[in-house]
Amino acid sequence: MIVTDHQAHRVSVTVYGEFTLADYKEFEELVNYKIQFEGPVDLLFDLREMVDATLDVAWEELKFSRQHAKDFKKVAVVTSSQWVTWSAWISQAFVEADIEVFEVLEEALAWLDEAAPA
């Protein structure tokens, strides 16, 4: 199950339990809408309560990342899982965003709120 939230130029997703393809499609729909009307967005993934993700989610994430390589500014991932951290770093090969992994939500939010260097 996921809970999504969005603000100007940001989409936040919190995953509880298993991250399913239906959940990912919900996320994709929201991000596509935001990109269409606002341009590039920041993403916040709070995966601290994620238990598992289905294989089809991983495949969909790869396809989505390649389609939207230039549509993200910053991507913050909140997790204590080494596997999720490793997969976040691999994602950097497919998008031109700054990607950072955090264990504390407040640190991720602070990083997202930092102004881009001039």
Cβ pair 112, 10 in contact under 8 A: yes
Whether residue 38 contacts residue 50, with contact meaning beta carbons closer than 8 Å, is answered with no
What pLDDT shows up at residue 118?
47
- Give residue-wise pLDDT tens across range 71-110: 999 999 999 988 777 777 777 777 889 999 999 999 999 9
pLDDT confidence band for 11 (50 / 70 / 90): very high
- Hey, how many other C-beta atoms are within 10 angstroms of the C-beta on 64? 18
Report residue 3's pLDDT band, with 50, 70 and 90 as the boundaries: very high
Residue 34 near residue 19, CB atoms below 8 Å: no
Say how many C-beta atoms besides its own lie within 10 A of residue 31's C-beta. Answer: 20
Which position has the token pair 């102004």? 115
Global pTM value = 0.89
Level-2 CATH architecture, domain 2-113: 3-Layer(aba) Sandwich (3.40)
